[in-house]
Amino acid sequence: MNPCFTCENDNREAKVPNSVLTPGMAAGRLPAAEIAANFADHIPPLDAHEARVAADRCYFCHDAPCVTACPTSIDIPLFIRQISTGTPEAAARTILSQNILGGMCARVCPTETLCEQACVREEAEGKPVEIGRLQRFATDTLMAKGIHPFVRAKATGRKVAVVGAGPAGLACAHRLAMKGHDVVIFDARPKAGGLNEYGLAAYKAVGRFAQDELEWLLKIGGITIQTGKALGRDLLLSDLQRQYHAVFLGLGLAGVNALKVPGEDKPIVRPAVDFIADLRQAADRSSVPVGRNVVVIGGGMTAVDAAVQSRLLGAETVTIVYRRGQERMAASGYEQDHATSAGVRIVTHAAPLAVRDGGVEFAYTQDGPDGLKVTDQTFLLPADQVLTAIGQTLSGAPDGLEVQGGKIVVDAHGRTSVKGIWAGGDCALGGEDLTVTAVAQGRDAAEDIDAVLKGAA
């Protein structure tokens, strides 16, 4: 264990919510070996030869549209050229200087709607340069050698508290540590990593990569992590303000939206994020119970991840139900296609009315200029497991901070309405609920914090 990584009880195992085993739910629907194969790398890594071939497709555009499309503004043509010239470690430094969690983002970032969608090759041929896989090749090569390419500046004597050890908090902490500040990260969960550790589909980031990347990040020095520390329960914002020179909030969105329909308290109903966390933390995924007939309510990435993984565990029928048209779903077309190819059915223009003993009753909807209308035409979907993925909320906003739409209001630098407090990631207003966006916000807030602490802003 990294000496900078502490918690209240270092021998404590990570705890995740336990499923209520109801009739129709069971573990081990498929042989353990088959489930293990199902959860192998969704997109396998490139080898050195494949990476050179993929890199040679890049036009190395001068005003590259892929750079503009990247929330962290990575110099994509430069790092691809570095791969093509046989220097993947240099390519990794180019990536990590902008996105310190470039390894995870290479695995989970929706490149198909960001950099690769903007690629000139995509426009000309319908097949972009494989930017995400090339990024993974570079960062994996460097991390495998145990190299941390950044050096900590001379200590400034300033201390910053970061609340939340997810992508935004980790990116902020690393940049601040690199600038010479001492950082203490507090996180409510037993393990650090936030979304990367608990909230991603297990087949997208296999093994213990989230923890490996975290331990690698901590090699910069100057960062201490305390887990099992929740704001409002174990920590008070006022105390952090007195004890530290600055505070960054990367709280994520711990609350989940309710269905607000009769029967939502039935044992078969569960937040999809809890189901995903169970899978992420399970040593043996064949031990995770799943229904025979699973209904997932929602239209975003969480809904897709929960639905696909239900199928990988052996659920016979899995249906995603979304209240609007398929073109309005937050999940990308690529992810929707991946879901249907895995055997998931997508039903649109339907809203839940009630959870019944035999399943979920829905009503068809009409989405017009006056908004969404629920019709009197209904149907029942059989279900012995219902996973809700209709959005998450900020759980217990700190007193004194301006909140709008369930998120903390911040300016372009990440500053909140309270002097000395910054925020970023999913808990902050204006984000896109993406790992890569959270990294950018954490990094940029760190730059502003550093400027303020050094009297330059």
pLDDT in tens, 218-237: 999 999 999 999 999 999 99
Tokens representing 72 are 């962290």
* Count of CB atoms situated within 10 Å of the CB of 151: 8
Weakest-pLDDT range from 162-176, 393-407, 430-444: 393-407
**CATH number of the domain that residue 296 is part of:** 3.50.50.60
Domain end position, chosen among 144, 168, 197: 144
Domains identified in the chain, total number: 3
* Any domain includes 15: no
Instruction: Return the sign of the alpha-carbon dihedral for residues 52, 56, 60, 66.
Output: negative
CA 162 to CA 364: how far, in whole Å? 45
Q: How far apart are CA 50 and CA 146, in angstroms?
A: 23
Determine the pLDDT at residue 9.
33
Claim to verify: residue 115 and residue 201 sit in the same structural domain:
no
Tell me: pLDDT of 1 over 50: no
Mean pLDDT of 287-295: 97
Would 288 be classed as within a structural domain? Answer: yes
pLDDT of residue 23: 82
Q: 35: pLDDT confidence band, cut at 50, 70 and 90?
A: very high
370-384 average pLDDT score: 95
Q: Name the domain boundary from 391, 407, 438.
A: 391
Q: Is 374 buried (19+), middle (13-18) or exposed (0-12) by CB count in 10 A?
A: middle
Q: Is residue 102 part of a domain?
A: yes
Per-residue pLDDT at 19 = 55
State the pLDDT at residue 21: 73
Q: Pick from 395, 441, 452: which is nearest to 419 by CA? A: 452
pLDDT of residue 405: 86
Domain identity same for 248 and 265? no
Q: State the pLDDT confidence band at 17, using cuts at 50, 70 and 90.
A: very low
The mean pLDDT of the chain is 93
User: pLDDT tens-digit profile of 379-413?
Assistant: 999 999 999 999 988 876 677 899 998 899 999 99
Residues 277, 256: contact at Cβ < 8 Å? no
Report the alpha-carbon distance of residue 291 to residue 154 in Å, rounded. Answer: 55
Higher pLDDT among residues 397 and 375, named by residue: 375
Claim to verify: residue 264 and residue 377 sit in the same structural domain:
yes
Residue 229 is predicted with a pLDDT of 96
Closest CA to 227 of 276, 193, 259: 193
> What's the rounded mean pLDDT across residues 297-315?
97
Question: Could you list the residue range(s) of the whole structural domain that residue 212 is in?
Answer: 153-254+394-453
Write down the pTM of the prediction.
0.93
Tokens of 409: 């209001």
Cα–Cα distance between 171 and 14 in angstroms, integer? 23
**Residues 250 and 260 grouped into a single domain:** no
Q: Is residue 7 scored above 80 in pLDDT? A: no
Is 338 within the bounds of a domain? yes
Instruction: Tell whether the model's pLDDT for residue 97 goes beyond 70.
Output: yes
Q: Please report the pLDDT score of residue 457 as a whole number.
A: 65
Residues 180, 94, single domain; the answer is no
> Are 387 and 408 part of one and the same domain?
no
Torsion, Cα 23 25 27 28, to 10 degrees, reads 100
Predicted local distance difference test score (pLDDT) of residue 24: 86
Cβ-count burial of 28 within 10 angstroms (0-12 exposed, 13-18 middle, 19+ buried)? middle
Flag whether 32 is in a domain: no
Domain boundary among the residues 144, 164, 180 is at 144
Does residue 365 sit in the same domain as residue 279?
A: yes
* Mean pLDDT value across residues 195-204: 95
Looking at residue 331, what is its pLDDT?
94
- Cα–Cα distance, 261 to 362 (Å, whole number): 11
Q: Between these two residues, 241 and 406, which has the higher pLDDT value?
A: 241
Instruction: Tell me if 421 is assigned to some domain.
Output: yes
Which residue type is seen at 245?
H
356 with 279, same domain?
yes
For range 107-111, the mean pLDDT: 95
